[in-house]
Structure 1
Amino acid sequence: MKEKIKALIVDDERFSREELSYLLDTYEQIEVIGEAGSGDEAIMKTLQLQPDVLFLDVEMPKMDGMAVSGSVHELKKIPEIIFATAYPDFAAEAFRHEALDYLLKPFDEEQLGEAIQRLEKKLHRRAFSPPQEPQPTKLAVEGEDTIDYLNPNEIMYVSREDRVTKIVGKTKVYETKSALKEVEERLDRFSFFRIHKSFLVNLDHIHRLTPWFNGAYQLELQGTDEKLPVSRNYVKGLRKKLEL
């Protein structure tokens, strides 16, 4: 049997909690594991019960639903939020809190059913999505005595000459024996583009392209007078990357 979705109902009005609990009882995939009559109680029960979803009222004394939503988003296990309120005016703010849905009182059973469907799909995707490993954000350049870790955004271009790869930053030039192709692969997630067999450039630092000869271009970078060659085989692809 498929594991049920655990729901916590949060509303300062007992009648509203009972009505929603009654409606949710018709969905065999939902299990109401608790109720809370205030924002403070909602946070406490979220910590204790670890629900998959909060059906959360907006207008509550002392601590309203938006404050509850902000607090539970700081938890290790963050439940989905479905706001359930009599006030339509809070809808825009609700979705800024990454709410899954926004239900108005009195509850419409069709809209509630659609919200449950969205909830099931979201939880299904979450369950079958493998956790993402954090991606490295620095380029390691190994020298004779040190390893420098470079912010890719600070690199202007990379060139290869006489079996040495030069990594040209805004304030310093680094050298590595790694092939240009290897450096290109390591910078693949960032804004770099091959413009020549011996040059890789950071697109964010490009200032101007100037026609040169035989369909080739020269490229100027921001903050420097140096000009780099753009082979004609790369011109079309470069312009496609740069232009709106």
Structure 2
Amino acid sequence: MIGLLDVLVVDDEQPAVDAMVHFLDKDRRIGRIFPAASANEALRILQEQHLDAIFLDIHMPSMTGLDLARVVNRFSEAPAVVFVTADDTLAVKAFELEATDYLLKPVSESRLAETVGRLAGTRVPLAPDAQLITVDQGGFSRMIRLDEVQYAEASGDYVRLHTAQSDYLVRIPMSALARQWENDGFVRIHRSYLVSLRHVDRVEFRGTASVKVGSVRLPVSRRSAPLLRSRLQAGRIRSTT
């Protein structure tokens, strides 16, 4: 997207509106910011202004955020919709409405910046069937997409999930996580590491085996090397002649 993003913030709680406006106003990719205290006020603004995105609360009186999103989706040039809510149970419904993101309150400035980056870039909405997982960070919970996880690292009684933007702790044994994510493209390459094959840039089997994920090099144990080879071979392109 070229130029600054003009956005609308919709929430019936004024402190929530003020916090979002404060963070957005600090982002150089954001242009005009329009606050609204209700869905009806938001519709009036949308009729008067051409906007790029809406940051939308879900639980509001009269018309919910989900209802407003259904109306917005019928616009000929619909703005992107980002849900901002304390309710972590409605993500699937949100993505069925082609939401670009689903933020859990309280929203951190860094998390909001990730969303703005998505809006300012491709503006491709998350897939409706994207698998979401709940993680903890900074004393609160949030939801991330499973396909954002590049690799998992054992950390005592926890597992640390690494994404391109941040990392998160989940309380689960590595062995259990490996079983759960086996059919989602993850491979246990070491006692301490589980890696997503979609994020692997390079594999080295000579000498000390390793895989490279971005700028990080992860060890591959001798015990895990055969499984990794097998999974790589299964995805190899073969000639049909």
What TM-score results when the alignment is normalised by the length of structure 2? Answer: 0.49
User: Highest CA radius of gyration, 1 or 2?
Assistant: 1
- Answer 1 or 2: higher relative contact order, Cα 8 Å, separation at least 6: 2
